[in-house]
Structure 1
Amino acid sequence: MKDFRKKQQRPKKSSLVYGRQAVIQALEQGEALDRIYLDQKLNDPVAGEIRRLAAAKLVPVNYVPVARLAHFNVEGHEGVVAQKSKIIYQNLQDIISFVIERGEVPLFLILDGITDVRNIGGIARTAWCCGVQAIIIPDKGVGALNDDAILTSAGALEKIPVCRVNSLMKAVDELHLNGVTVFASAMEAAIPVATADLRIPAAIVMGSEEKGIYPALLKICDTAISIPMYNQFESLNVSVATGMILYEAMKQRMPA
């Protein structure tokens, strides 16, 4: 049977930084990096410095076999390859403060465990159209915001601020400290989305279609909401479900 799945494209060399000193320099200069691929066997002071700088800049590090680095088809990588990002990630507290100072009611979107870049692109497109002021993603366990994601978003990912955090649970705590109510989308929730008050400062958490929201994260959310379905099914596509919830939020917030 023919496999119609799209093959993964090798990143363009122009989108890569490789070699230990080149990657260290990129980190020190604050260049936007999507993630770093590091030979899992490297355990010397230079590799340690890369790890330290990456942690400080919230750049994810993937520890991979050296054979994985060969996929990038670059010479002289010295066991480390970084992929540039077209997205300039923002600080969550700075975004919260900026939104409040403009006199707007916060509406944020949190993505937990969503790995399909086409879904992420579609979500970003809808989020921008519905007035979401920022998308919050974890530094691990989420699809790369690469060219495919940007293309699927029709450029929305280059318009809407994206905050990358090392812990979604800490991000929820930060939102709570700023008076933002966190809603979790869950199929089993008893509260239909249309009855939830989304006019208040709000953040909405969307989980993956397969696993939903991480249980510990779901537990610290304020309210779980669901989308009623005429015919019961395992789950809605996460991009479609996000659109339904964000449309409801936008409808509630629009002037009468």
Structure 2
Amino acid sequence: MQKDYQIFGIRAVIEAIHAGKAIDKVFIQKGLKGALFSELETLLRKEQINVSHVPLEKLDRLSKKNHQGVIAHISPVEFHSLETLVINTVESGETPFFLLLDQLSDVRNFGAIIRTAECTGVHGIIVQNKGGAPVTADTVKTSAGAVFNVPICKVDHIKDAVFYMQASGIQVVAATEKTEDMIYDVPLDVPLAIVMGAEDKGISPSVMKSADHRAKLPMYGNIGSLNVSVACGVFLYEVIRQRKK
């Protein structure tokens, strides 16, 4: 974790939250107690900030400074409002093109996806507030700086974003092998949001059920799946291919 994106100490993290800093995740030492810590916990719950309780050794590896059992990771980017982004995109006259990441966890996969999304003209990427990969220095590096060019939104639940997209006239396509429909047979030249799932368990059942379409990639080898960032790239460029017709 890049040191420029860290805040150390309970009071420092509390003040950063009050100051409106875009905090992606807070690492807290297991078993930490005290009045000031209770104040921090209450604030973290209120602001719905992603928290991970870890051993002291983990914190010591993250930083050699006097962290008091608490290290916060500040996002290097500001997050956008989903509603505002969708409204502005629709009103721009362009055909909406969004990407929903359902609890993708690897920061390098996240960065690679952001880079491809920027190259394919995606209007915005939506991630879940908890359980997904944070925007770290590794994300920035892997994205080749594209993270600063593609709006990123955070929502409490990806399913909420799916419903909002659909209410805005945007069709939602789930990328999954659990379907008979090939990507080439699903119309992608419409107002669109593509959902990519987590590396280990794919798209959550509730999100899958809510999607308008499901689509899969043809697989001819012995390995049953692609890396999620590679699969995402194929989906995004198929959108471009269809829209260029």
Q: Which runs of 5+ in 1 are unaligned?
A: 1-10
2: CA distance, partners of 1:233 / 1:12: 35
2: CA distance, partners of 1:98 / 1:54: 31
Q: What TM-score does the superposition give when structure 1 sets the normalisation length? A: 0.86
Identity %: 37
Aligned to 1:3: none
1:24 aligns with 2:14: yes
Aligned to 1:176: 166
Q: 1:135 Cα deviation (Å)?
A: 0.8
Give the alignment partner of residue 38 of structure 1, picking from 6, 9, 28: 28
Paired positions, count: 245
2: CA distance, partners of 1:148 / 1:12: 8
2: CA distance, partners of 1:188 / 1:132: 25
Q: What TM-score does the superposition give when structure 2 sets the normalisation length? A: 0.90
Secondary structure of the corresponding residue to residue 191 of structure 1:
coil
AA aligned to 2:203 is: I
Give the alignment partner of residue 87 of structure 2, picking from 80, 85, 97: 97
Secondary structure of the corresponding residue to residue 241 of structure 1:
helix
Aligned to 1:135: 125
Q: 1:199 to 1:49 in 2, by over 3 A?
A: farther
AA aligned to 1:139 is: N
Q: 1:208 Cα deviation (Å)?
A: 3.0
Give the alignment partner of residue 78 of structure 1, picking from 68, 72, 76: 68
Structural RMSD (CA) = 2.1
Q: 1:12 to 1:206 in 2, by over 3 A?
A: closer
Q: Which runs of 5+ in 2 are unaligned?
A: none
Aligned to 2:78: 88
Query: CA deviation digits over 1:34-63, x for unaligned, max 9?
Result: 211123323555334434433454431112
Q: Which moved more, 1:12-21 or 1:213-222?
A: 12-21
Q: 1:205 Cα deviation (Å)?
A: 0.7
2: CA distance, partners of 1:47 / 1:68: 19
2: CA distance, partners of 1:55 / 1:174: 24
1:14 aligns with 2:1: no
1:201 aligns with 2:197: no
1: CA distance, partners of 2:95 / 2:219: 29
Aligned to 1:248: 238
Q: 1:56 to 1:132 in 2, by over 3 A?
A: farther
